[in-house]
Amino acid sequence: MKRSSPLALVLLLFSACSSDEPGPGAGGNKLRTEAGFCTEWARVACHPNVLDACESDEDGCNERQRTFCEDLVPSGYASSHATVCIQAVKTAYSDATLTAEESGVVHHLAGDCSRLVDGGRAEGDTCTDSFQCDTLHDFECVIKPGESTGTCQVPNLVGGGDRCDDPEVVCEEGYYCDGSHCVAVFDVDEPCSNDAMCVAGHSCVIATDATEGVCTPKLALRDPCTVDSECTSNFCVNDTCREEVDLSLDTPFCADL
């Protein structure tokens, strides 16, 4: 049998170690598991500007944000869209200022963080929240106006006058589904029975024991509030409607940072 020369063995080993495949002990995709995802989430959330604003140390911030992330992410995590979420978290925290939209991302997994889990329910199954559905493949919980539950569907957005009775159909902004067709939303002081019937920035205010109310403007910036949904900006911080907020020990957000 012909023996390989020492030089050939060296070249063979060099070739094996230089391949694109990860070698022994390689970490692979650091976002592959939920634990790895939350470790990376914590790393980008604990930006130096955040540490200064919240008067926090890096180790403590990382530990708190890992725990916060693990509690926030529902079961069924998969990494398909994790990279864009991590980038959104990094962008949100990098200037130590949160807008309403950025707060939705980092506190409620909205926007670029809305496609992280397969909740296990199939198309057409009853749901109350999109994370019960396969968000990895664009399924959401489509809830018709006035209903408290919906079904897991890939939403089909349609315009005014179009039929909306199929479970996956959603009316575009400025219209609501009256049960069969997309019709124009109502303006201030017009009658309504649910929020979807009212123009943007308004809600349907129904008196106690009544079944019908009127479309009423939501609270303006700097108005006192108790929850996000009361504000036109959809952002209530320290009992005041805000457009954005600088992180500080006076805000509730530094507790987890």
pLDDT tens string 64-73 = 999 999 999 9
DSSP state of 131: G
Confidence of residue 13 (pLDDT cuts 50, 70, 90): very low
Look at strands 156-158 and 169-171 and give their pairing.
parallel
Q: List pLDDT tens digits, range 170-198.
A: 999 999 999 999 999 999 999 999 999 99
Q: Residues 77, 98: one domain? A: yes
Is residue 50 assigned to a domain?
Answer: yes
Q: So what's the pLDDT on residue 127? A: 98
Q: Residues 99, 141: one domain? A: no
Q: Residues 51, 107: one domain? A: yes
How far is the C-alpha of 59 from the C-alpha of 30, rounded, in Å?
19
Q: Report how far Cα 253 is from the mean position of its chain's Cα atoms.
A: 17
Is 59 within 8 Å of 16 (Cβ atoms)? no
Is residue 109 assigned to a domain?
Answer: yes
Mean pLDDT over 94-119 rounds to: 98
Q: So what's the pLDDT on residue 15? A: 39
- Residues near 233 by beta carbon (within 8 Å), at least 6 away in sequence: 100, 221, 241, 242, 243
Is residue 161 assigned to a domain?
Answer: yes
Is residue 51 assigned to a domain?
Answer: yes
Total structural domains within the chain: 3
Q: List pLDDT tens digits, range 149-158.
A: 999 999 999 9
Q: Residues 106, 42: one domain? A: yes
Confidence of residue 19 (pLDDT cuts 50, 70, 90): very low
Q: 172 by DSSP, 3-state: which?
A: coil
Question: Residue 53 has which token pair?
Answer: 């604003």
pTM of the predicted model over 0.75 = yes
Torsion of CA 89, 95, 98, 102, to 10 degrees: -30
Q: 14 by DSSP, 3-state: which?
A: helix
Is residue 14 assigned to a domain?
Answer: no
Question: Residue 4 pLDDT > 70, yes or no?
Answer: no
Is residue 235 assigned to a domain?
Answer: no
* C-alpha dist (Å) from residue 78 to 44, 135, 137, 149, 152: 19, 10, 11, 25, 18
- Residues near 49 by beta carbon (within 8 Å), at least 6 away in sequence: 93, 94, 95, 96
> Which of 184, 211, 233 marks a domain boundary?
184
Q: So what's the pLDDT on residue 5? A: 45
Question: Which residue range forms the structural domain that includes residue 51?
Answer: 34-114
Is residue 255 assigned to a domain?
Answer: no
